[in-house]
Structure 1
């Protein structure tokens, strides 16, 4: 009877351990934000109203049509803009067109010429080898 009593005690301990491991409550509660005090909210409302009033006064003092005209005048008077527009209006001279075409052809033909140069070198090498073989064969025939 002693053995079953020990087994029952062990089972109780094991069951108690299981119960303890399942419930892990750390006691943390839900955090709730406190509402802002009325003094702070009232001050924020007053500040917003004041900024709106200041913006309205500044915008009332500005004449937007005058500003737009001034910006247009500055654009017209800007030397860089004037030079660019003058260059745009000018047609290209024959010399400039010829120069551009030569540059284009040099760039495009350069790739082809390199290819042909490499091909030509390969042909020269093979022809030299064949010439040597033919010369050697001719010497052998003469002997």
Structure 2
């Protein structure tokens, strides 16, 4: 087993790096698209394509969530180093759901929002791997 330890650590690090890149491209899609249109970088194109493929298929609650998550990121929701996007998204999401339903909507739980975010990031990373290895 020890013979595989270094390779395992390397693979785990690449997975973490891919997820960080996926998160970046999910949050900064517009900026990266604008930069791509100037530079035409193939790596950026592949990430943008992965984001588009995933986000084009997201609908309803997750589409609202993604829009709000991007909004929270643009507003730099950090306070003393603590990530505070969750409360912002919870409140805004609740308001959107209430407007759509005409009544006060339930608050989306922190675990649910974090799960949705992890799923979106993982989906983009996985799609990117398939695009890259095509």
TM-score bucket of the superposed structures, by smaller chain = under 0.3
- TM-score normalised by length of structure 1: 0.20
More helix by share: 1
- TM-score normalised by length of structure 2: 0.21
The structure that has the greater radius of gyration is 1
